[in-house]
Amino acid sequence: MTSSLSWFTVGNGRITLGARPTPDYLTKLRGLGVTHIATIQTSEENKPELKNDVANAGLHWLWLPFNIADIFVNNDTEKAFMQQYLQEVAETLREGGQVYLHCDGNCERCRLFLYALCIHQRIPASSAYNIIHSFGGDKANQLSRRELQQAAAIVA
């Protein structure tokens, strides 16, 4: 895991992306200024001890449980959950939180969530894409136009 982080400033806070942190890395993240760990994993993926590890490291935990498939579900309930997650992270950032966002090793959900968060913050789509690209162009390039459109549609 890296010893420095790339940040994107949103309001009074900042957000970064990364892999699921180990207990030792959580302590290092706190030393790098992280205040919140935002976990994009479902209950099937999320080991129960992660919440405890985050608390033991002196950090706050945000749980944003969704799969990629949830982005493509066209029902009001799933959309409402996604909007709630966006609002929660946006509020944390407005309050000055320093958020480390993670999902699985691929970080596809992180990038889609960050893209939707940018749209939520009224950042134009082309700029939002540049932002997710700044966290690793190779992985950002793997996101399909359809995925980006669906992520943006969550906000509408």
Cα distances from 122 to residues 49, 101, 118, 153, in angstroms, run 35, 20, 6, 13
Indicate the CATH number of 8-153 among 3.90.190.10, 3.40.50.12710, 3.40.50.740, 3.40.50.10110: 3.90.190.10
The confidence score (pLDDT) of residue 39 equals 92
How many whole angstroms from its chain centre is CA 68?
13
User: Which regions of the chain does DSSP assign to beta strands (E)?
Assistant: 8-10, 13-18, 36-39, 60-63, 98-102
Hey, where are the domains in the chain? 8-153
Per-block mean pLDDT, blocks of 10 residues, the chain (156 long): 82 93 95 95 78 95 80 76 94 97 82 93 93 83 86 85
For 67, what's the count of Cα atoms within 13 Å in the CB-facing half-sphere? 8
* Amino acid identity for residue 6 in this structure: S
| Full-model pTM | 0.90
Q: Shortest CA distance to 51 belongs to which of 40, 60, 64, 43?
A: 60
Q: Specify whether the CB–CB gap between 41 and 19 falls below 8 A.
A: no
Say how far apart CA 76 and CA 28 lie, in whole Å.
39
